[in-house]
Amino acid sequence: PAAVGMPAAPLADVKPGQKIIILGAGCIGLMTLQACKCLGATEIAVVDVLEKRLIMAEQLGATVVINGTKEDTIARCQQFTEDMGADIVFETAGSAVTVKQAPYLVMRGGKIMIVGTVPGDSAINFLKINREVTIQ
C-alpha cells in the first residue's frame, strides 16, 4: 500500500491550499492522505463506507470524513468545496461507484487520480469531465 499510496500525491502535484478529496480510506487511501499532508495539503475530505476507517482518517489529519452509506457523498463533497469541486480527487477504493462519483467532485481544470484498481468496466460521464479535467 505504501508503494502505491505515497507516490500518488507527488504525481498529482499536490500543493498547499488545494482542496483534496480521497475516495477510499483503506491502506492505500490512508497512505495517500499522509502523503498529501506531507506536501502541505490542509483541506482534505476522505470518503469511505466503514466507520473504523473514517476514524483512522480523522486521526491522521483528514479535515472532513464522509460515510458514503450514511450521507450523500456528492452533496457533502460539494459542501466541503463550497460548490467549486476539489482541485484533486484521488480514487483509491477501486470501486466502480467511486470511479463514477469522481467526475462530479472535481473542479474545472482539476485532476482525478485513479489510484485504485477497478475490476471490469466502469461508466464515466464524459460530459462531467469535459471541463479541462485531467485523468491520471
pLDDT digits (tens, 9 = 90+) for 6-49: 999 999 999 999 999 999 999 999 999 999 999 999 999 999 99
Dihedral Cα 32, 36, 42, 43, nearest 10 deg: -50
Rounded to whole angstroms, how far apart are CA atoms 8 and 3? 9
Rounded to whole angstroms, how far apart are CA atoms 101 and 74? 7
Looking at the predicted structure, is the pLDDT value of residue 125 above 80? no
Residues 6+ apart with CB under 8 A from 75: none
- Bridge partners for 134 per DSSP: 111
Number of Cα atoms under 13 Å in the Cβ half of residue 89: 31
The reported pLDDT for the residue numbered 133 is 87
CATH class (in words) of the domain with range 2-135? alpha beta
Strand-strand pairing, 106-114 and 134-135: parallel
pLDDT digits (tens, 9 = 90+) for 57-97: 999 999 999 999 999 999 999 999 999 999 999 999 989 89
Rounded to whole angstroms, how far apart are CA atoms 33 and 111? 16
Rounded to whole angstroms, how far apart are CA atoms 106 and 77? 9
The whole-model pTM stands at 0.94
The reported pLDDT for the residue numbered 74 is 97
